[in-house]
Each structure stands twice: as C-alpha cells, then as structure tokens.
Structure 1
Amino acid sequence: MATKTTENNTTSSSAEKKMQVDNANVNEKEMKDAPLHKFFVDALKDIYYAEHKLVDALQTMHDAATTEELKDAFEDHQLQTKKHISRLDKVFKLIDETPEQKKCEAMDGLIKEGEEIIKSTEEGTMTRDAALIIAAQKVEHYEIASYGGLAQLAITMGHDKAADLLEKILQEEEDTDYNLTEIAETSINFDAEQED
C-alpha cells in the first residue's frame, strides 16, 4: 500500500513539474517584453562590458605588482575573466539574446581608481601591492554583487541553465576575493607597514 502511495505522489509530482514547465514556456514568450527581462538583459550587457574591460585592467595590475604571488593572482584572474566572458556568451544564447556590451560606469570608475593607485604609489613597494589588492577587491565586490543579483533574477524568471552558469561565475569571484585577502594577510600588508 505504501508503495502505491509513493507512486501516486511521484505521478502527481511529475504532472506538477510538467505544468510548471508549460507555464514557463507560455510566460517566456511574454517575458521578452517584461520590464524584469529587459532589466536582466541590460544588466548582463553591463557585466559583459565590465569583464571585457577587466581583461586589460588585470594586465596593467599584473605589470604594476611587485610580488610574484600577486602577479600570479592577477594572471590567474585574467584567464578566469576570459572564461567568464565565454560563459556570459552562453547565458545570452540560453535566453535567446545577442551578446552585447553596454558601457559600465562602475567598472570604468574602478579601473580608473586602480590606475590612480599605480600612479600614486612607488614602484617595487609592498605599499603598492597592498593598494592593488584593495583596488582588485573593490572590483571583485562589484562583480560579486552583480553576479549574485543576476543569478537570482535568472532563477526567478525560470532561466535555470543561465542561473547555473551565473552562480558558477559568482563562486569563482568569491574565491578570487578570498585568495586576495589571503595574499594580503599572509605577508604583503605586514611588509607594507614596515616601509618608510
């Protein structure tokens, strides 16, 4: 008897899922014109631009860094950023939109701030590396906020595969932020504090 009840529950659960999928398909046609979908696409274009700009900015930060450990971290993040761009291409495809960049004032400002840090700190110092880590973490926090919000919007709108990709990027951004903190706390901040 218990087996029969389980089978009935499974059948009814499958029917509910099918109905939900059917509803999602119906809503998807209307979703293109929905304000939330338009905002989501706009925000994707914004972070797509930001990631493209970051590839070059990370090279600049790499070249300006003093320690090999920080140079390696910037190089790793640059490679990761290129993968993020590729994943964003897939997200656009999954929601049937053309990958397109929209100028991101926030990322432009963060990159400009990083360039100012390089100009205002002495080459070859731990102070510069400490400042570069802070600049890089500001970028990471912007990306974490962006991807966290985008992933939740994707889930809300039923774009589950896109949400999975966005959540994967989010996790990698959080890992990068953590690694930068580790580098700072292990030696760079202490060494910077000793400089005259």
Structure 2
Amino acid sequence: MGEAYQIRDQEMPYFLTFQIVGWADVFTRKVYRDLMLENLVYSREEKGLYLYGYVIMSNHVHLIVQQKEGKLSDWVRDFKKFTSKKLLKLILENQQESRREWLKMIFEFHAKFNKRSGDLQFWTHDNHAIELYRPEMIESEMTYIHENPVRAGWVESAEDYLYSSARNYAGLKGLIEVDFW
C-alpha cells in the first residue's frame, strides 16, 4: 500500500475508494447496491460514521466520511470485512445469479495472492485514502464522486443517479440520508 494513501489522522474526513478485486462489475445488480446502502445507514446510526458523500459504481464505491470517535481505520476494516462476507454469501448462494461461477473464479484467483483473504477475496486491500484537510478539498472530491455516473455515461445530471448523495445535495430525496458538509 502506498505511503501517500494511508489514514494517518483518524479524526479527519477522508475520501475513500473501495474497489472490487479484478474490477468485477458486482454492483450492476440492485440487491448488491442495496446491501451497501443498508450498511452505510447502519454505520451512520450505530458506528459513529459521518457520511458526507457517496457513489456506488459498478465495481467500486467512493465515500467521503469521518468517524466520530476518531477510529476511521477500525471502521474501514470492519465495514469491508462485514460487507465482503455478506456480498460473497449473497452472490455464491444465489442460484439466480448468472455470473456466480465467473465471479467465484475472480474472487478465488485474487485470494491466492493474499494470505489474509482466505479462499475468496472481494475487496482490494487499498482504500486510496485521501485526507481532506481543507473545505475546498472536500468540495472538489464531492464533485468528483457525484460526477462519476455522468462521466460513465449513465446519466446526464449527477442528481439523476439514484445510488449517490448528489440527489441529497441537489435538494432531492436520496435513497439514504447523509451528513451535509
């Protein structure tokens, strides 16, 4: 993991990217995106997370977050561990998942190169953590994550993408609540 992308100050807001191994397009399915949202809501309500912004793309998630008790690294570890177990179980036990064997092959392949992963690996171990120590940095990263679906060609306007906090910031009803910056 690069020295530049580590969580140093546990109390500061950070831009994080959680990437699926092999850039596998898992979040093309609503059920998997919804599981991520459920866990973000739980993290806000029960784990002391300030969720300032998010976007769920097909193979990665961008977040702008801060942890109330100054334990951001602990939250990241726990969140990724819990969501990977839940998502792997959903994918591999779902007989209707047409990509089940292909996805399993990807998760097994990437686990071979990491002793900490066990038999399957869902998330990469890097979080691309960027400390946001100035308000203009938060605004810049917020624009970046909200424009992700626009750059991907999925929507014309950021607020049209349901799985993003852009709707909240545009004054529309989002799928989940966020903590406004």
TM-score (norm 2): 0.32
Looking at both structures, which has the greater relative contact order when contacts are Cα pairs under 8 Å and sequence separation is at least 6? 2
Structure richer in strand, relative to its length: 2
Q: For the pair shown, which has the larger CA radius of gyration, 1 or 2?
A: 1
Q: Which has the higher helix share?
A: 1
